[in-house]
Structure 1
Amino acid sequence: MIYLNQAGFAPEATKHATLTGDTSYTLHANAGSIVKSGECTLKHDDNSGEDAAIIDFSEIKATGSYYFTDGKGNKSAEFVIDNNHYDEALFASIKMFYFQRCGMALEEKYAGVYARKACHCGGGYMLHDKSIRRKMLGGWHDAGDYGRYVTAGAVALGHILYGYEMFPDALQLDLNIPESGGNLPDILAECKYELDWILDMQDEDGGVHHKCTSQNFCGFIMPDEDDLDMVITPVSSLATGDFAAIMALASRIYRKYDEAYADTLADAARKAWNWLVKNPSFLFENPSEVTTGTYEDMCDTDERLWAATEIYRLDKNEDAKRIILSVLELRINLYALGWADVGGFGTLAVINGGAELFGEDLYRRMTLKWLDEADRLKGIAESNAFNFTLRPAEFTWGSNMVVLMNAMILCVAHKLTQDKSYLDTAQYQLDYIFGRNAMDLSYVTGIGERAFKHPHLRPTEADGIDEPIPGFVSGGPNFRPCDEAANPDNMSDKPAMKRYADDMRSYSTNEITIYWNSPLVFALGYFKEYSK
């Protein structure tokens, strides 16, 4: 078999595919001609459990459609060589957020066959006092269920808004959403839909409530059929720290378009920061009566770091600067970009803020940490036949999120250094996501000839439409799967890269989330910017 990026390649890009189970290959143009052929020496690959080799066909630059065959006649997925090969994927991966909107009808002129009725318009009540209700209208459904979570939402916004800050032109797409043609670029209008909901999760004293969900998950029904009461869980320092950071970041980006809204965001960020200062130790545990996703985290130091970096960018707050320096002594992860560990966002804030603002010593310290991680990832990628940045035990729940965040790290390393080896390694991670993997699947719905089709996503299962909504990223292989479709009994004999089930029941390998899509948006946007 030959595995490759089904979304295709730019003409000048480094182009790799992976050959397994045979030693010879032939590259065909769809017009009928043979373009290249060759022999490879196979070597065992631990992630896939297969004997494999890299095919390098970077010298093929003519635009068009192609496919490979191996010596046994097995045909690869078709792919294109074209400068616009990622356009469809970038559009779909951003439009995904519109399809996750809560609290409004998705009209046919924007959603096509995936139109649906408005949902969850009744607001929510405080878990500690049912007499207190808030409108709780809007925001994005977090994942395959209908919950909304501040920490997850802030992280998804962080991936997108840092991307917008670094390469805004690449993300100026017409998304065909209700706000299209307005004052805001479409991607900022989409992000505002989430920001407005998160704003409503803040108390007057600045503290931010952790999540708004039903007490238990509903069944696989359409969102407008979910009539379970929404409950608002208590305030947490995790949510408040992420809130302070994302509101400060957003205030800077939106100021160009709407001064009043930017002021609202900045004031909310300051209130959250003041709450954090007054509450130095305050975490979150899921209340016993609530069984939906917890997003628990027993350390808020990284959230405070991210908040401090963005508050310093907002106001040059010297207390925030001191907190940044003190937190760095704790040796937290300075390149993590997930919901549990957000230290990497603090580093991005320093990188984007620059040495002039943060000081040469701090800027250099954080950029060197970032580049050290990029070098580590590059070394792993050079050691296997998929040019992949994970080892077998690192296929966690949501492994594709880790792959895409690694791509982000490598893109930023390239921006810092202009070293093309970082860009190539970032490209290899996108290759994996779009089909250069042992499942021979594109892990983005609707993108590629062999895209996965059965996400753990309630609307896709309940809408009666065969094809899933395009643009959703699957969680991906999980070394320790734990659901009905993918479990230790039927996965234990499989290598890590094959512990995956394209089955809607498989929440531990095939769910979707907003913060698995957002790093894909960042990476695709960076490649669009670089290819100009």
Structure 2
Amino acid sequence: MRQLFTSFFLLWSVLSFCQQGTSFIHVDQFGYLPNARKLAVMSDPQVGFNAANSYTPSAVIELRNAADDMVVASYEISEWNNLQTHEASGDRGWWVDFSSYTTPGSYYLFDLDNQIASAEFEIGDHVYNELLKTAGRAFFYNRCGAAKLEEFAGAWSDLASFENPGQDTECRYIYDPNNPELARDLSGGWFDAGDYNKYVTFLWACMNDLLMAYRESTIAFGDDWNIPESGNGIPDILDEIKWELDWLMKMNNPDGTCIIKMGSQNYNENTLSPPSANTDPRFYGPTCTSASIASASVLSQAAVVFGQYASFTGYANQLHAQAVANWNYGVEMASQGMLETDCDDGSIVAGDADWSIEQQEQVLVQTAVYLYEFSYQDDYASYFIDTYQSLPAYTWIDSYSMAFSDAMLNMKNLNYSASLTNDLNAALSTMVQNDFENFMGEETTDLYGAHMPDYSYHWGSNSPKASYGNLNWSVAQLLGEAGAQEHQSKAADFLHYFHGVNPLDLVMLSNMYSFGAEHCVNEIYHTWFYNGTDYDNAILDALGPAPGFVTGGPNQWYSGTFSPPANQPIMKSYLDYNDGFPEVSWEITEPAIYYQAAYLRLLAHFVVYDPGNSVEEVNHLEANLYPNPAQRESYFESVENGQMIVLNTKGQVIQQLAKNQSRLLIRLDEPGLYVLHFLADNGLSLTRKLIIE
């Protein structure tokens, strides 16, 4: 009965052009982990497109079993901020905390007096698992140059795209397009956002979040996303990352220079749906210092991640070598005052891919951390120590500088020296304690529980929204047990925002009805899923957009005329539409790989993989090194035999030793830090630091 009502209500809300804001009781429409905090929001709109709607909830809200509508618990409501209007949303409201209920199942909240129900939701250990796969598969749909067969893509199948003459396999240089000798194979990679272009600098934040998602939440990722590589023994997130890395390597040159972007030369070219329908030529732009530095950052961290797998040892070394070339080039150009900030002149249309000098300098410092982590060469650590304090302190713990914040925390955890670790720990802890923007931990300044500064509700606001959640999770690891619970719960609040705990009552992902959402994004601005195609609207059209794309989010500086998004409280500056010029829906609903990655990283914190397919073991080679620190002599003990390479911090090989017994003696006369690389006969490898006093 309730499901029939819900289906009718959804259809009515879309047809009435007011799909958002359809419910007064806001819950995570996918659900909650059993022992997590569960806080629903009840809203009474005061300002904005839904201000004419009025709601005063019952003093007690029921929790009902969705299978039989039986009441399983009841909870008293509490006023938020003495029923003052929350300026950012235009709503006043109440909270109901049902955290104490932990029994797995399907439920909804019900206001008996008003006969109003929330969306259904699950309580269980794996409520987000299928959601993680679906959000991850958005990258598969964004693959360029890959056939999307029906067995993997379902209704959104398509032939390989941009493989026609003059396109990506023989891409021409934009400033000399008639010169065939300059043609390059730049096939592969992902479409960046709503268009089909591909950018090096734009993928930087995306790849950092994806790589960090895997590093932070390895247990969340399996080998079963139903992409072509599924079942190969490698987590599918790494297969997707490798698809982009392979393209990035093609954009590079051996001398460390890197092409900044590739795409179309006119806005009216390559605008057809589906992607394989496009035949207009494609072009690549100039090499730019920002592209080299972005590439260095991505490849250096990717080398660390892929180096954990025996089957990717050679690949990781290739990534690292190119990262070193990129980084050396960037450092040299920076030392000469030659960093470029106006390299992308727009000859390839759409986004300006240039970076400021400050950002380029920041990413050089960040990259040094991962170059050191991979090689343990002292030069990279020294560069970090010599330069990190010259960067603005606000970037150390900042959602707009997540990659640098991640690097700072990573360098602290690498324990290069006690003094550096202590300095970083003190500096980062102070930044967290100051929290001048009130987005850390248990703050109550936002009715919907996921506060971020007003200025963050801009074009692509869902990107910082996810990053504030990720930052809280990172801070939880920094503070340890003392602050972990508080900040992890706050990270979950940001996740719940994406799943419907927002003034729009909207799941911020496309076409998620088959995955448990009752009110979700129906339209996104994407050339494939454009207005008027079969992929236009998830309810009204034959197919709608592919599921799982994160939309741009509310934008208080929307420049079109539709209201909403115009003339609304900032959190209601949104509309579920994909119209083109002059209504510029790309400012509101355009997806992008960097929004997607930030959300996927946030989601992964709350997923524990339920094994279906096995994945290759990460390099877990059991070994002991003792004593360490040592006086001249140390022993390396392992059941595996192989070759031991001893390097100094400049990367010079000091010794090469064969290990053919259970214990290997390592004798070094000079005091200092050494790096031991052990290559086992079974293909596994291990790196350890050894201090000789």
TM-score, with length taken from structure 1: 0.93
Whether the 8 Å contact between 1:334 and 1:369 is mirrored in structure 2 is no
After TM superposition, the structure 1 stretch with the greater mean CA deviation from structure 2, 254-263 or 80-89, is 254-263
1:99 has 2:141 as partner:
yes
Whether the 8 Å contact between 1:347 and 1:366 is mirrored in structure 2 is no
Rounded Cα–Cα distance in structure 2 between residues aligned with 1:366 and 1:275: 30
Q: Secondary structure at the match of 1:444?
A: strand
Q: How does 1:234-249 map to 2 (within 5 A)?
A: 234-249=286-301
Matched to 2:283, the amino acid is: V
1:312 corresponds in structure 2 to 372
Rounded Cα–Cα distance in structure 2 between residues aligned with 1:392 and 1:364: 29
Deviation at 1:467, TM superposition (A): 3.2
Matched to 1:310, the amino acid is: Y
Please, which of 489, 506, 516 is the counterpart of residue 595 of structure 2?
A: 516
Whether the 8 Å contact between 2:219 and 2:609 is mirrored in structure 1 is no
1:329 has 2:390 as partner:
yes
2:192 corresponds in structure 1 to 142
1:507 has 2:586 as partner:
yes
1:450 has 2:519 as partner:
yes
Matched to 2:43, the amino acid is: T
Rounded Cα–Cα distance in structure 2 between residues aligned with 1:178 and 1:195: 17
Matched to 2:327, the amino acid is: W
1:298 has 2:356 as partner:
yes
1:436 corresponds in structure 2 to 501
Taking a change above 3 Å as real, the CA distance of residues 94 and 350 of structure 1, as seen in their structure-2 partners, is same
Deviations 1:325-349 (A, max 9, x none): 32322325123455x8742243243
1:110 has 2:171 as partner:
no
Matched to 1:268, the amino acid is: Q
Q: Secondary structure at the match of 2:201?
A: helix
After TM superposition, the structure 1 stretch with the greater mean CA deviation from structure 2, 522-531 or 33-42, is 522-531
Taking a change above 3 Å as real, the CA distance of residues 183 and 13 of structure 1, as seen in their structure-2 partners, is closer
Deviation at 1:284, TM superposition (A): 3.9
Rounded Cα–Cα distance in structure 1 between residues aligned with 2:565 and 2:198: 31
Whether the 8 Å contact between 2:189 and 2:246 is mirrored in structure 1 is yes
1:57 corresponds in structure 2 to 98
Whether the 8 Å contact between 1:17 and 1:56 is mirrored in structure 2 is yes
1:215 corresponds in structure 2 to 265
Deviation at 1:159, TM superposition (A): 0.8
1:397 has 2:453 as partner:
no
Matched to 2:559, the amino acid is: C
Deviation at 1:268, TM superposition (A): 0.5
Deviations 1:354-398 (A, max 9, x none): 455994235425642663477841268422221112233321111
Rounded Cα–Cα distance in structure 1 between residues aligned with 2:233 and 2:276: 30
Q: Secondary structure at the match of 2:172?
A: strand
1:126 has 2:173 as partner:
yes
Rounded Cα–Cα distance in structure 2 between residues aligned with 1:4 and 1:525: 19
Identity, % of aligned pairs? 25
Please, which of 4, 9, 19 is the counterpart of residue 42 of structure 2?
A: 19
Q: Secondary structure at the match of 2:212?
A: helix
1:40 has 2:78 as partner:
yes
* Structure 2 alignment gaps of length 5 or more: 1-23, 45-55, 536-541, 580-584, 612-693
Whether the 8 Å contact between 1:350 and 1:358 is mirrored in structure 2 is no
Whether the 8 Å contact between 1:380 and 1:388 is mirrored in structure 2 is no
Deviations 1:392-416 (A, max 9, x none): 3321111111111111111122233
Matched to 1:235, the amino acid is: T
Taking a change above 3 Å as real, the CA distance of residues 527 and 361 of structure 1, as seen in their structure-2 partners, is same
Deviation at 1:490, TM superposition (A): 4.9
Rounded Cα–Cα distance in structure 2 between residues aligned with 1:453 and 1:86: 20
Matched to 1:232, the amino acid is: Y
Deviations 1:228-271 (A, max 9, x none): 32221222222211211221111122122322111111110111
1:254 corresponds in structure 2 to 306
Deviation at 1:72, TM superposition (A): 2.8
Rounded Cα–Cα distance in structure 2 between residues aligned with 1:172 and 1:373: 38
Q: Secondary structure at the match of 2:31?
A: coil
After TM superposition, the structure 1 stretch with the greater mean CA deviation from structure 2, 158-167 or 104-113, is 158-167
Q: In terms of Rg, which structure is larger? A: 2
Q: Secondary structure at the match of 1:377?
A: coil
Taking a change above 3 Å as real, the CA distance of residues 390 and 152 of structure 1, as seen in their structure-2 partners, is same
2:553 corresponds in structure 1 to 476
Deviations 1:6-31 (A, max 9, x none): 11001111001111122423332222
Rounded Cα–Cα distance in structure 2 between residues aligned with 1:263 and 1:476: 39
Please, which of 514, 539, 544 is the counterpart of residue 467 of structure 1?
A: 544
Whether the 8 Å contact between 1:66 and 1:79 is mirrored in structure 2 is yes
Whether the 8 Å contact between 1:247 and 1:265 is mirrored in structure 2 is yes
* Structure 1 alignment gaps of length 5 or more: none
Whether the 8 Å contact between 1:45 and 1:385 is mirrored in structure 2 is yes
RMSD between superposed Cα atoms in Å: 2.5
- Name the one with the larger helix percent: 1
Deviations 1:499-521 (A, max 9, x none): 00111121111110111111222
Please, which of 433, 442, 446 is the counterpart of residue 384 of structure 1?
A: 446
Deviation at 1:480, TM superposition (A): 0.7
Taking a change above 3 Å as real, the CA distance of residues 215 and 293 of structure 1, as seen in their structure-2 partners, is same
Whether the 8 Å contact between 2:448 and 2:503 is mirrored in structure 1 is no
Matched to 1:38, the amino acid is: E
Whether the 8 Å contact between 1:301 and 1:327 is mirrored in structure 2 is no
2:3 corresponds in structure 1 to none
Higher relative contact order (CA 8 A, sep 6+): 1
**Count of paired positions:** 528
Whether the 8 Å contact between 2:499 and 2:506 is mirrored in structure 1 is yes
1:494 has 2:568 as partner:
yes
Rounded Cα–Cα distance in structure 2 between residues aligned with 1:492 and 1:134: 44
Rounded Cα–Cα distance in structure 2 between residues aligned with 1:260 and 1:134: 24
Please, which of 283, 286, 289 is the counterpart of residue 340 of structure 2?
A: 283
2:473 corresponds in structure 1 to 411
Matched to 1:312, the amino acid is: Y
Rounded Cα–Cα distance in structure 1 between residues aligned with 2:95 and 2:141: 37
Rounded Cα–Cα distance in structure 2 between residues aligned with 1:359 and 1:410: 23
Rounded Cα–Cα distance in structure 2 between residues aligned with 1:166 and 1:234: 35
Matched to 1:29, the amino acid is: N
Q: Secondary structure at the match of 1:134?
A: coil
Matched to 1:61, the amino acid is: T
1:161 corresponds in structure 2 to 211
